[in-house]
A and B are shown apart, each in its own frame.
Chain A
Amino acid sequence: MDSVTLKKLKEKFSDSIVDTHSFRGDETATVKKEKIVDICKFLRDDNELLYNFMMDITAVDYYGREPRFEVVYHLYSLKYNRRVRIKVPVPESDCTVDSIISVWIGADWFEREAYDLYGIIFKGHPNLKRILLYEGFEGHPLRKDYPVKGRQPLIGPKN
């Protein structure tokens, strides 16, 4: 049974919702990446939803699957005490997704982290550079094809 969130999302963005999932109040919507900013704005501003707290942005590498990556947004509504998870599949060939900084300014460092560790480009991000690793690091270490023993020390031996 869909909650009000998934129901409203399906009504408003019927073309862009790829899949939804709901289990014991744990709700997920998989959406097309072209619409992510509009969907986020809607979730934030609709009076019955008011997801005003962007809790987390992360990414998953489903290596060997197409589309390979998924960017995952966790949202929380302080007003209604509700949570929703939005997933956006991102293919390796076009490894980009629109930045949602214009919706939640707090997305800034989360997007930088996902860029740093997964190499996903957030279009429209004002300062998309590495946040955890150092400049000069090659590759993105949380990708499944990053070698387990891939070491790039700034100084000292490669052990």
Chain B
Amino acid sequence: MEEGGTGMGIINSQQSAVGSLQSGEEQVLGSSVLLTKLDEIIGWGRKYSFFLYPFVTACCGMEFMSLAGPRYDLDRFGSALPRFSPRQADLLFVVGTISHKQAPILVKIYNQMTEPKWVFSFGVCATSGGFYDNYATVQGIDTLIPVDVYVPGCPPRPEMVIDGLLKLQQKVAKEKWSDWPRGEAPVTQNQNLKIKI
């Protein structure tokens, strides 16, 4: 995980910007008060409380179920609760092949999620289209929506996905206020998004 982290990585007064205060306020206040930066404590809180939205379209879904189940137990990393409404979720798990027919739905789901939000590309089909290089398949969901973590594999091992999730946690911990909001997906302006599905 993060360098020198103990799982409670926010309070490392020697490294943080408030380190210089150690000889001053912290000594006076003692261990009953913690000093940190707002960005850091919010990032720390966010990274251990992902609410995922599983956008499951293909066989990778089975692998996702094993990941969420007791053996690999995503709950250990603070992302235990899949929400089946995009309004309640902040981590979009795109699990499986996305066809061109589904692309508007994916973009709509992404736009409906509240910010801050992250996107996890689960499996090689979501990442690049995989071996479906044909008329029906989107060649990677990053042609439609911004993606934070790519985990290839057909399907990826649960260990790979957990590794990807930890990398996403590191990324989230480093984010700043100014990184948000990201706004709607760039393809939203496309007229075809409004067609009847």
Contact = CB atoms under 8 A, between A and B. Distances in A.
A154 B101 CA distance: 7
A83 B144 CA distance: 46
A153 B195 contact: no
Interface in A130-159: 132-136, 141, 146, 150-157, 159
B100 interface: yes
Contacts of A135: 195
B17 interface: no
A156 B143 contact: yes
B145 to A, nearest CB: 9
Contacts of B127: none
Nearest to A133: B101
A88 B143 CA distance: 42
A151 B135 contact: yes
Contacts of B97: none
A152 B100 contact: yes
B101 A156 contact: no
Interface residues of A, number: 16
A154 B195 contact: yes
A157 B143 contact: yes
Interface string A70-113: 00000000000000000000000000000000000000000000
A146 B103 CA distance: 22
Nearest to A153: B100
B139 interface: yes
A155 B103 contact: yes
A159 B135 contact: no
B60 interface: no
Contacts of B100: 134, 152-154, 156
Given A153-B103, A154-B104, A133 B143 contact: no
Interface in B138-161: 138-139, 143-144
Q: Which of B134, B135, B190, B193 has the most CB of A within 10 A?
A: B135
Contacts of A156: 100, 103, 138, 143-144, 187, 190
B135 A154 contact: no
19 contacts: A133-B136, A135-B195, A136-B192, A141-B134, A146-B135, A151-B135, A152-B100, A153-B138, A154-B103, A154-B193, A155-B103, A155-B104, A155-B144, A155-B190, A155-B193, A156-B103, A156-B138, A157-B143, A159-B143
Interface of A: 132-136, 141, 146, 150-157, 159
Given A155-B104, A155-B190, A155-B192, 14 more contacts: A132-B136, A134-B101, A134-B195, A136-B192, A151-B135, A152-B100, A152-B135, A153-B138, A154-B104, A154-B192, A154-B193, A155-B103, A156-B138, A159-B143
